[in-house]
Amino acid sequence: MPLKELAERRNILHRKSDAQTVLRHVLSDVQIGKIALVSSFGAESVVLLHMVAEIDKNAPVIFLDTEMLFPETLTYQREVAASLGLTDLRVITPNRNDVLTEDVDGILHLADTDACCDLRKTRPLNAALQEFDGWITGRKQFQGGQRAQLPLFEKDERKIKINPLAKWTTDDLKSYMDAHDLPRHPLVSKGYPSVGCMPCTTRVGDHEDPRAGRWRNSEKTECGIHFTDGKATREGKAA
């Protein structure tokens, strides 16, 4: 079955399903195939991680360590993975030869943020996803931009991308975290409602958009791991 048709059929099937039902299905859906959860272990990531762990602690979870992350994120990642009992956590890093060739001094982001994201995010993730037929993301419609009409299932190149929390709100996320007593990312309480790489993430003011601290004073809003018509997304909100 063509991937676009498969995504459309799953959207119809799960038009009234909750996130847990969607996850239970995709983690065992033979038509979609082998699935991984891609998680940044960021401000809201623990919700989806907890849901997946409740269904199958052996489900593959990919964490992309760009080698530019906040120390707090790395600590949080280890603590959350351990507390949830995730048994197939795959920590992915940029290709060492590529880094030595293209960003040996770690300052590529100062000259070209897109090139830095390609080196440290897009290429490593694409390599890690080669063995999978689809992947789960934490993207949501309320994040705006191109995500305002985000479906539960979508065709992404030669894979199926699943967005179980597409219709969730910030209140939904908070309620779930509270109900399950889930640990918050330590930087959230310090003014970072959205956490990315350290050089390209700043604190956000009380009346600013939660995403305002990502690539501040730049037109860039996407890291490049999500695609539209085969091209890295340049508008909307990053995951």
> Which one of the listed residues 117, 197, 200, 223 is annotated catalytic?
223
Q: Count Cβ atoms below 10 Å from residue 106 Cβ, excluding itself.
A: 13
Is position 223 annotated as part of the catalytic site?
Answer: yes
Quote the CA–CA distance of 107 and 229 in Å, as a whole number: 30
Quote the CA–CA distance of 55 and 222 in Å, as a whole number: 30
Closest CA to 54 of 87, 84, 81: 84
Quote the CA–CA distance of 109 and 14 in Å, as a whole number: 40
Quote the CA–CA distance of 204 and 18 in Å, as a whole number: 31
Q: Which residue matches tokens 């897009």? A: 122
Enzyme catalytic residues: 223
